Structure 1
Amino acid sequence: MSTVTVTESGAQPADESLRVVDVVSAKAPITFALAILAMASLLLFGAQSGDTTFRFSRAGDFFTVPDVTVPATTTAWVLVVVLVALTAESVRRYVARRRTPGWLIALFALVALTAFLSWAGADATLRVDGLLAGTILLAIPLVFGAMSGVLGERVGVVNIAIDGQLLAGAFAAALVGSIFGSAWAGVLGAMLAGALVAVILAVFTITYFVEQVIVGVVLNVLVLGVTNFMFSQVLAENPEGLNTPPRLSQWAIPVLSDIPVLGSALFKQSPIVYLLYVVVAAVTYALYRTRWGLRVRAVGEHPKAADTVGINVIRTRYTTVILAGAIAGAGGAFYSLVSVQGFNREITDGAGYIALAAVIFGKWDPIKATLAALLFGFAGNLQGTLSVIGAPVPSEFMLMLPYLVTLLAVAGFVGRSRPPAASGIPYRKS
């Protein structure tokens, strides 16, 4: 009896040569070329005189990193030449049927960003440590939301309701924190609120097999309507008692917070940032290093096979989705307890959808999704930095910058990727 191997052309004897098709996307070199064109146009039609100063240290650091002052337009043009060389390498790899590696994409992004900042910061001083610290702050809810999205899809449930979970968490944090006079009570309330939204998502998608994307969108709209109503009818009537929670102030970690550049960005933050470090590490370890994580990934890839070996698919999906909702709710607490003191209408501003984009850009991996969320947070912080230094960039462009970066990242750099095989597919036990 001959062995048969199935290929894309059908069943063939195993001893015949197999046809191997290696699909290599041209997205990266095309995106590189478009970015160079945009940067060159900016320099040609908006050339600036003067120097740009990059400052890396602050008073009190262990040691001082000297400021770097460069001619704005000249430096930008030199870096454009470097970008052309990196694009040529990407094209060479594409012609050779090889993918553009992640390190090349990261290097291109870093050089392009430096070129843009050199041009935009003419006659100004750019605080690099402040830029990084602001990035961390703006990325906090995005990373929490991304962790929620990763867990949901890894177990086979598409969590479109991230924005609703963030919004519910922000509302509960303000209300519970104000009632009990404790910011940590607010964080706990936010986690419970996010978990409650996740329970509703789980019931409709796992038990009643309702289309997951539709349920997620409906939950986002529902939570938005409920929180707006409660804000106007309850919180606005008694803001002192119901919408003035204690704030989570900064905690500077001794020694580490005095490291130049990264010290204030990573180790002089609010406690919720340190909680975020723990969550990312725990999710990563649990998914890849524990029996629970193996079961979650098995349910997300092949629930029937998981059920066959004794894994309770329904229970695993329920517990994971609820845990994911609690994590997103904790991210919502950032808005009411750190960003501002209290809850406002539509305070998340669609951050849940950007977090979902981070999940896709990160290819459903916790660490990569975290890095993607940091990228989107950086784009949002850059908008404010450019406004402060008076960069000659139209305000309309700066408002759309975070969303433009999100679009370019997902559409331009996410090559061939595959979500968990059972993601979005309800499981009906036969």
Structure 2
Amino acid sequence: MSTAASTSEQNAGPIALERTQIKSWKAPIALGVFAVIAVVLFIGIPREGQSSFRFTEPGDAIALPNLVVPTHATGVIVAILLVILAALSVWLIWKRGASSLWLVIVFAVVFMFGFLSWAAANHTVPFTGLLLGSVSLSVPLVFGALGGVISERAGVVNIAIEGQLLAGAFVSAVVASVTHNVFAGLVGAMVAGVLVSFVLGAFAIKYLVDQVIVGVVLNVLVTGLTSFLFSQVLSANTPLLNDPPRLSRLPIPLLSDIPVVGQVLFNQSLIVYLMYLAVFLVWFGLFRTRWGLRMRAVGEHPTAADTVGINVTGTRFWNVALAGAVAGLGGAYFTLVSAPAFGKEMTAGAGFIALAAVIFGRWHPVRATLAALLFGFASYLQTTLGVIGSPVPSEFMLMLPYVVTIFAVAGLVGLSRAPAADGKPYIKS
């Protein structure tokens, strides 16, 4: 008996050792690339002068002084810090086998501070405006990412987020225009997202069609349908069908007067406040309720879930519908807050960025929200740099959000694992 146990331990030893030595070098490589970019930009292409950061706007209850830093010296210091942080990430992987999320966050903040300082030589960066614009662009991404998390936690790949956002934007504009009621528009957007999800659920869950193909086809279908209706119906009846009322800002007393974050977080429209609530409810429901436990069980091991009496097909179908409602609500932001009316393909790929946020956030609602905010920040950064006269070519600034998306998903996310049954149809034996 002891000999057999000893032999088993000897055989298991190399396997266990091999497992413990599996390391992901994605994060250190990505940080190293950005550190090299920082050295080239901040030291190899120095800019002289001073860079200023403005944290308050005229009329704010509390005024803060501008932060003024020497451009070249700041760039040198930041480049050195980034090299140190990249080296620290390598050391953590070498010693512990895993890097630190906080290290990546600190690296990103330091890099962005250095980049803004370098780009804004002899100019002023409106920091509060930058954050406010970032949040505005992030709202539909957050709703789309939450919808993606719900759907994929239930085991259904939701490529159709783009279609759900676009359908929500179209229907919210039409319903709100006809009824002259923004709340009716919000409900209409959710219904539109649910209808798109019903089609996804019917083909992917009931008829076992490949989920990725169904999602791609739905995106094309919704894009073509809304474009046709816009050209043939809405354009000819704009005052009646495409002139929705707007959701105005609702400042929260006292909180909206907090410097910087007050205007960014607490002087927003109703949809943004609903976004805060949605992030909390999805997180709480997913990890603190029986509904979330059943959904995660269906997404991880549907056979075991079926064994204990959970209706796998029903659970997946209704959670996909819920995901569509959440994403559709994000689509309403385009027409009731962001733009004065519906326009052709106005989502402009936001659904795919939201899907990337789901992966970057490792299928966790809070992390996916933070990833969506990162992508929104990258999108609005091009506008800010254009205003201050950045030396970075405008063509590069247009592709900046997608470059950040690629680096985030392929590099900084490190090892990630989707729900085990994600994308796999369940056939009851």
Q: 5 Å matches for 1:162-241?
A: 162-241=161-240
> Which protein has the bigger helix share?
2
CA distance in 1, matches of 2:393, 2:228: 35
Residue 84 of structure 1: how far off its partner (Å): 1.0
> Helix, strand or coil for the counterpart of 2:68?
strand
Q: Name the CA shift for 1:56/1:263 in 2 (closer, same or farther; >3 Å).
A: same
Ranges in structure 1 where 5+ consecutive residues have no aligned partner: 6-11
Q: 5 Å matches for 1:245-264?
A: 245-264=244-263
CA distance in 1, matches of 2:392, 2:153: 40
Q: What's 1:378 paired with? A: 377
Q: What's 1:351 paired with? A: 350
CA distance in 1, matches of 2:62, 2:177: 42
After alignment, is 25-34 or 107-116 more displaced? 25-34
Residue 63 of structure 1: how far off its partner (Å): 3.4
CA distance in 2, matches of 1:324, 1:100: 32
After alignment, is 103-112 or 70-79 more displaced? 70-79
Is the 1:177–1:185 Cα contact (8 Å) retained in structure 2? yes
CA distance in 1, matches of 2:106, 2:346: 34
1:251-281 Cα deviation digits (max 9, x unpaired): 1111000000100000011110001001111
Is the 2:173–2:342 Cα contact (8 Å) retained in structure 1? yes
After alignment, is 382-391 or 87-96 more displaced? 87-96
What TM-score does the superposition give when structure 1 sets the normalisation length? 0.96
Q: 5 Å matches for 1:250-289?
A: 250-289=249-288
Is the 1:24–1:97 Cα contact (8 Å) retained in structure 2? no
Q: What's 1:8 paired with? A: none
Q: 5 Å matches for 1:122-161?
A: 122-161=121-160
Residue 403 of structure 1: how far off its partner (Å): 0.4
After alignment, is 34-43 or 368-377 more displaced? 34-43
Q: 5 Å matches for 1:286-365?
A: 286-365=285-364
CA distance in 2, matches of 1:61, 1:230: 44
> Helix, strand or coil for the counterpart of 1:47?
coil
CA distance in 2, matches of 1:255, 1:299: 44
After alignment, is 28-37 or 137-146 more displaced? 28-37
> Helix, strand or coil for the counterpart of 2:51?
strand
> Helix, strand or coil for the counterpart of 1:64?
coil
Residue 349 of structure 1: how far off its partner (Å): 0.3
CA distance in 1, matches of 2:347, 2:170: 10
What amino acid sits opposite 1:302 in the alignment? H
Residue 74 of structure 1: how far off its partner (Å): 1.7
After alignment, is 406-415 or 201-210 more displaced? 406-415
What amino acid sits opposite 2:159 in the alignment? I
CA distance in 1, matches of 2:59, 2:41: 38
What amino acid sits opposite 1:343 in the alignment? F
CA distance in 2, matches of 1:379, 1:352: 16
Residue 64 of structure 1: how far off its partner (Å): 3.1
Give yes or no for the alignment of 1:71 onto 2:73.
no
CA distance in 1, matches of 2:105, 2:322: 32
Residue 69 of structure 1: how far off its partner (Å): 0.2
What amino acid sits opposite 1:342 in the alignment? A
What amino acid sits opposite 1:127 in the alignment? P
1:209-237 Cα deviation digits (max 9, x unpaired): 00000000000000000000000000001
CA distance in 2, matches of 1:100, 1:196: 42
Give yes or no for the alignment of 1:51 onto 2:50.
yes
Q: What's 2:416 paired with? A: 417
Q: Name the CA shift for 1:16/1:44 in 2 (closer, same or farther; >3 Å).
A: closer
Cα RMSD over matched residues? 1.7
What amino acid sits opposite 1:128 in the alignment? F
CA distance in 2, matches of 1:141, 1:77: 37
What TM-score does the superposition give when structure 2 sets the normalisation length? 0.96
Equivalent pairs counted in the alignment come to 424
Identity %: 56
Is the 1:135–1:374 Cα contact (8 Å) retained in structure 2? yes
Is the 2:159–2:216 Cα contact (8 Å) retained in structure 1? yes
Residue 61 of structure 1: how far off its partner (Å): 4.2
1:90-136 Cα deviation digits (max 9, x unpaired): 11122224211000000000000000000001111112111111111
What amino acid sits opposite 1:337 in the alignment? L
CA distance in 2, matches of 1:361, 1:387: 28
What amino acid sits opposite 2:417 in the alignment? R
After alignment, is 261-270 or 96-105 more displaced? 96-105
CA distance in 2, matches of 1:25, 1:16: 25
CA distance in 2, matches of 1:216, 1:366: 21
What amino acid sits opposite 1:38 in the alignment? I
> Helix, strand or coil for the counterpart of 2:236?
coil
Q: What's 1:393 paired with? A: 392
Is the 2:165–2:331 Cα contact (8 Å) retained in structure 1? yes
Residue 244 of structure 1: how far off its partner (Å): 0.4
1:231-254 Cα deviation digits (max 9, x unpaired): 000000111110000011111111
Residue 70 of structure 1: how far off its partner (Å): 0.6
What amino acid sits opposite 2:282 in the alignment? V
CA distance in 2, matches of 1:149, 1:340: 24
Q: Name the CA shift for 1:98/1:62 in 2 (closer, same or farther; >3 Å).
A: farther
> Helix, strand or coil for the counterpart of 1:96?
helix
> Helix, strand or coil for the counterpart of 1:49?
coil
What amino acid sits opposite 1:356 in the alignment? L
Is the 2:164–2:192 Cα contact (8 Å) retained in structure 1? yes
CA distance in 1, matches of 2:419, 2:265: 32
What amino acid sits opposite 2:167 in the alignment? A
Is the 2:169–2:335 Cα contact (8 Å) retained in structure 1? yes
After alignment, is 141-150 or 60-69 more displaced? 60-69
Give yes or no for the alignment of 1:244 onto 2:257.
no
Q: What's 1:9 paired with? A: none
Q: Name the CA shift for 1:208/1:72 in 2 (closer, same or farther; >3 Å).
A: same
CA distance in 1, matches of 2:365, 2:43: 40
Residue 184 of structure 1: how far off its partner (Å): 1.4
CA distance in 2, matches of 1:132, 1:403: 19
> Helix, strand or coil for the counterpart of 1:237?
helix
